Amino acid sequence: MDFATLIQSVTGFISSHPQWALGVIFLLAFGESLAFISLLLPATVILLATGALIGESELTFFPVWLAATLGAFVGDWVSWWLGYRYSHRVMSVWPLSRKPELIARGHLFFERWGAWGVFIGRFFGPLRAVVPLIAGVCTMPAHKFQLANALSAMVWAFGILAPGVLGLPWLAELF
């Protein structure tokens, strides 16, 4: 299945089953933010396309934004916890074991920027997959991580949904 078909299938499902929309949006944002899974799931493009459904269906912005925010927050929190709990052992697990350059880049980025790295890392695809994990491996204090995590999740969810809400659904077609 190609990206266009996947995007159409998911947005079609959300449009046809609005009662499931918030759960699907939560899971997409969660998967997009979860270490390992985010490397395989094209959820950003699907969420961007989902933003176009707001106002065109029964969906309203605040609940959709909240579902995406919570999904992103929980995904990064689980990634941080995995890094904190399992330390350097997580780096030998597939798919990270096949992409050691992502780990090295994430580590350098985090070491340089700290909590700001967690915030900024959410907005860059491959970094989004490893920065929270590396923050956990580096035993970043939970309160600092969660503050950066919460703020970045709110901004990211707004930024990913707003183009569709503002009538820019063509952005999803670029991907």
Alpha-carbon distance 97 to 74, whole Å?
24
Residue 70: which of 78, 58, 60 has the closest Cα? Answer: 78
Cβ partners under 8 Å of residue 118, min gap 6: 76, 110, 131, 132, 135, 140, 145, 148, 149, 152
* Residue 124: φ, ψ to 5°: -125, 110
Q: What pLDDT was estimated at residue 172?
A: 46
The rounded distance, in Å, linking the Cα atoms of 96 and 101 is: 9
Q: Return per-residue pLDDT of the chain as tens, 175 residues.
A: 676 787 778 777 887 787 898 999 999 999 988 887 766 677 777 888 788 777 677 778 899 999 999 999 999 999 999 989 988 777 777 666 777 776 677 677 777 888 898 898 888 877 777 889 888 988 889 999 999 999 999 999 999 888 776 765 444 454 4
Q: Where are the domains of the chain?
A: 3-173
